[in-house]
Amino acid sequence: MARVLSLELTPSGMVLEETARVIQKDGVIAMPTESFYAVGASARNEAAVRRVSAMKGRRVGKPILVLIPDQAELAALVAEVTPAAAALIEQFWPGPLTLIFRASRFLPDALTEGAGTVGVRHTAYPMLVPLLRHVGPLTGTSANRAGQPPAKTAGEVQAMLGTDLDLILDGGPTPGGMPSTIIDTVGPVRVLREGPISRHQIESALSHSGLALAS
């Protein structure tokens, strides 16, 4: 079973260093987010990202989203930030909004699954931001096997994925609720999933920049 470390509001240096050691060795962790627990691997590590897909049983062709701690990380992940993406970033980041971008050609194929795009979310979750700043962008797919409900506690993660993970960071129960809103900003702007940020809010933010959602 996976090792478990306690992740406090301000993670200790020991926890950050141990997590970095695991990530640097193609490791995969579970970590709390603002909704549910997520499975984290370095977004730039092909082998680790393939492990994430395998343990979740994800279908082929479904890209994996990436979590970042600040907008400065975006440039290394995406090929272009469209005017629509820029408008939504200004209005809603950090927050529960995942934006789909054209992916950088340097990202692993396992992350983009041949789609040429990548989903990115700038998180504001207090436990997660220091970790991401220490280890770099991580995958943020939910910590469950395909078809199972997302995990809200470290115990639920251990029960579902403990034999496959290297480390579980226990931050206590997560808030749950709706997963992030997903907006495709490549080509016509589309709402792929409506979440905490409503379609109306997206339309309003775009209209202020003279832009609109695709009908």
- The predicted structure's pLDDT at residue 59: 66
Structural domain contains residue 214: no
Mean pLDDT of the 172-176 span: 95
Structural domain contains residue 158: yes
**Total count of domains within the chain:** 1
**Domain boundaries, position 147:** 3-207
Structural domain contains residue 40: yes
Q: What is the pLDDT of residues 34-74, one digit of tens each?
A: 999 999 999 999 999 999 999 998 766 678 999 999 999 99
Structural domain contains residue 180: yes
CATH code for position 157: 3.90.870.10
Sign of the dihedral defined by the CA atoms of residues 179, 37, 154, 143, in that order: positive
Structural domain contains residue 191: yes
Structural domain contains residue 154: yes
- pTM reported for the whole predicted model: 0.95
- The predicted structure's pLDDT at residue 9: 83
Structural domain contains residue 213: no
Q: What is the pLDDT of residues 7-34, one digit of tens each?
A: 988 888 999 999 999 999 999 999 999 9
Structural domain contains residue 61: yes
Residues 6+ apart with CB under 8 A from 80: 101, 102
Mean pLDDT of the 127-141 span: 96
Q: What is the pLDDT of residues 103-112, one digit of tens each?
A: 999 999 999 9
Percent of the chain with pLDDT over 90: 90
